[in-house]
């Protein structure tokens, strides 16, 4: 393995699965030749039933203290014509 390959491998150690999926997706989209891109990876089994946040949003606080995020559910359902 070349020195560069070793550096890349070391830089990937310790990254979260979300980060690794993102890097793999970028490699498949932009680096690999078009004939290699036809190979798709099934992430369904690994992420099934697990909620994910975007990597750049982890740890961010978007809701004010004391705010009930569910208080507008009925209005949102009406806006999107959701039966329920």
Greater confidence (2 vs 34) lies with 2
- The CA angle 36-16-8, to the nearest 5 degrees, is 55
| Residue 61 located in a structural domain | no
Give the confidence band of 46 by pLDDT, cuts at 50, 70, 90.
low
Greatest mean pLDDT among 16-20, 35-39, 79-83: 16-20
Chain segment 54-72, per-residue pLDDT in tens: 556 566 666 677 777 788 8
Count up the domains in the chain and report the number. 1
List the structure tokens of 52: 């994910």
List the structure tokens of 44: 């369904």
| Residue 19 located in a structural domain | yes
Question: Which residues, including other chains, have CB under 8 Å from residue 25's CB and lie 6 or more apart?
Answer: none
- The model's pTM is 0.37
Half-sphere exposure of 54 (CA within 13 A, CB side): 3
- Residue 84 confidence (pLDDT) above 60: no
| Residue 73 located in a structural domain | no
Question: Which residues, including other chains, have CB under 8 Å from residue 28's CB and lie 6 or more apart?
Answer: 36, 37, 39, 41
Residue 7: give the domain boundaries. 1-46
């Amino acid at each position: 393995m070349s020195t560069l390959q070793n550096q890349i491998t070391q830089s990937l150690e310790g990254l979260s699965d979300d980060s690794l999926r993102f890097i793999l997706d970028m490699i498949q989209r932009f680096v690999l030749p078009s004939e290699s891109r036809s190979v798709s990876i099934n992430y369904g089994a690994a992420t099934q039933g697990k909620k994910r946040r975007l990597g750049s949003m982890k740890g961010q606080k978007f809701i004010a203290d004391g705010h009930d995020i569910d208080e507008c559910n009925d209005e949102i359902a009406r806006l999107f014509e959701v039966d329920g």
